[in-house]
Chains A and B, each alone.
Chain A
C-alpha cells in the first residue's frame, strides 16, 4: 500500500514517527501551516515555523525516503491575535517556494470578523499565486461554519476543484460534495472521524474528490491512521485499486494542480550523505 498523507503536522512528531510511517508505506505527505499548541506571540515565530516547513522538515522526511511538501498561511486561530497579524505579510514570500503546494490552513475557527478578513485575503493569494487552497473547518458550530466557508470560497473566484474543505464528517460532507470542492477527512483515535466511519462515507459518497488524512498534531493522534483506513477499506470489500485511489492518486491529483508536486524517487535520498546525523542519532 502506497500512502500520501495530504494533511499531517510533522512538526509535532518525533523522528521515530517518520520511520514508522515509512515502514507503513507513507511515501509522501503535505504539512499544512497551523498553530503550535502554544499560542505564538509575534511574526518572528511564524517566520521560523515557515522556514522549518520548507527547510528542516523536508530534510528530516527525506532521511526515510518520504517526500515532504507544505501549505503556508496565517491560521484562523491566530488571525485573531493582533500580535500575530503581521505574519500575513510573510505568507506571499513562502507561497513562491518550490515545495509549497497550496495556501493553507485557511478558514474559520470562531468565525470572527478578523477571521473573515484573513480568510478572504489568503484565498485572493491562492488566486494570485495559482495555488490550490486547504480550508480548515471549525470544530465548534461546524455545520454553519462549513456553509459559511463554502459561501466565502464561492465569492473568492477560486475554482471549487482547487479547494479542499477539511475535517468533514457525516453531517458536513454533503454540502461540500454538492459545492464541487474536494472533501477532506481527518482520522483520529477518538474524535473527528474513525477508519470504520470513513469507510461508510466512502460507500455513500464514492471515491472521487476525497482526501483521507491523519492530521496527527498535538492532540491524541496517530500518524498511521491512513494505513488503518486503507486496511478497513479492504476488510469492507473495497479493492486494492480503490485504496490506491483514495490514499495515493487523489492527493496527487489535488496537490498536482499546483504544478509543484515533486514525487521523484531519486530525490528522496539526495538530502543525505552516508549515515546522516538523524539516522545516527546525532544531536
Chain B
C-alpha cells in the first residue's frame, strides 16, 4: 500500500508506538484520506488502502486481537477494509471467524470481500456455501478468488439445484453461474 499523506504517515507512526491509537484512527481514516477508487491497486479505495497501512503498522503480537475488535465494532466500510486487508497481514488462519461473520450477512459488499484470496483458509464446505450465496444474491462470481481451481463436483450439484429451482420458477439464473457449471461438469 503506497498511499501517503501527512495524516496517514503520522497515524502509522502513532500506531507503531501506541497500538491502542488505531481504534480512533481506523474509524476516522476515510474523513482524512477520502473514499475515491485508486488506480493502483485496482479494486481498492483510498480509505481501504489507508486502513490497510494502519493495520500493517500494528506490532505482530497485537494484530489478531486488534483486528478482531476493529472488525466487530466497525461500520460497514471498516469491516470491508479489514476483509480486504486480510491477505496482506501476517495472521495465518486466525481471522477465519471474521470471514464466517461476513458471509452470514446480507451485505453484498461484505460477502464479496470475504471471497478474496484469504478465503483459501475457509474449509471446503463453508467455501461452497459462500460461492452459492453469491449466485443467490446476484454477486458476480468474478469476485471469487481461485474459483475454477477450487470448484468441485459437490459445488456443481448445489449450483445445479439452484438453477433447477430458478428455472422451475421461471426466474433468471446468472450467466456466470451457468458458465461455472458447464466448466465443472466438463472437467469431471
- Which A residues form the contact surface with B (CB < 8 A)? 47, 51, 54-56, 58-59, 93, 96-99, 259-260, 267, 271-278, 280, 282-283
Contact = CB atoms under 8 A, between A and B. Distances in A.
B62 interface: no
B86 to A, nearest CB: 18
9 A-B pairs with the lowest CB-CB distances in the bound complex, closest first: A54-B75, A275-B138, A96-B27, A277-B137, A55-B76, A97-B75, A59-B107, A273-B108, A273-B139
A276 B137 contact: yes
A99 B27 CA distance: 11
Contacts of B23: 93
Contacts of B139: 273
Interface residues on B, range: 20 to 34
B31 A98 contact: yes
A259 B30 CA distance: 13
B124 interface: no
A55 B136 contact: no
Interface in B75-93: 75-79
Given A55-B75, A56-B76, 17 more contacts: A55-B79, A59-B76, A59-B107, A96-B24, A98-B30, A98-B31, A98-B77, A271-B76, A273-B139, A273-B140, A276-B108, A277-B106, A277-B136, A277-B137, A277-B138, A280-B138, A283-B106
Given A55-B107, A56-B107, A96-B27, A282 B137 contact: yes
B31 A277 contact: no
A260 to B, nearest CB: 7
A273 B112 contact: yes
A99 B137 CA distance: 25
A276 B138 contact: yes
Contacts of A267: 35
A97 B106 contact: no
Contacts of B108: 271-273, 276-277
Contacts, number: 65
A260 B31 contact: yes
Most B C-beta atoms less than 10 A away, residue of A277, A280, A283: A277
B84 to A, nearest CB: 15
Describe A's contact surface by its main secondary structure.
Answer: loop
B109 interface: yes
A277 B77 CA distance: 19
Contacts of A54: 75-76
B150 interface: no
22 contacts: A47-B73, A51-B75, A55-B79, A56-B76, A56-B107, A58-B75, A93-B27, A97-B78, A98-B27, A98-B30, A271-B76, A271-B108, A272-B108, A273-B108, A273-B137, A273-B138, A276-B138, A277-B138, A278-B106, A282-B106, A282-B136, A282-B137
Nearest to A259: B31
A97 B140 contact: no
Nearest to A93: B73
A267 B37 CA distance: 12
A72 B112 CA distance: 28
Nearest to A272: B108
B28 interface: yes
Given A275-B138, A276-B138, A58 B31 contact: no
B75 A99 contact: yes
A59 B102 CA distance: 14
Contacts of A273: 108, 112, 137-140
Interface string B2-39: 00000000000000000000011001101100010000
Contacts of A259: 31
Given A96-B27, A260-B31, A58 B136 contact: no
Nearest to A90: B73
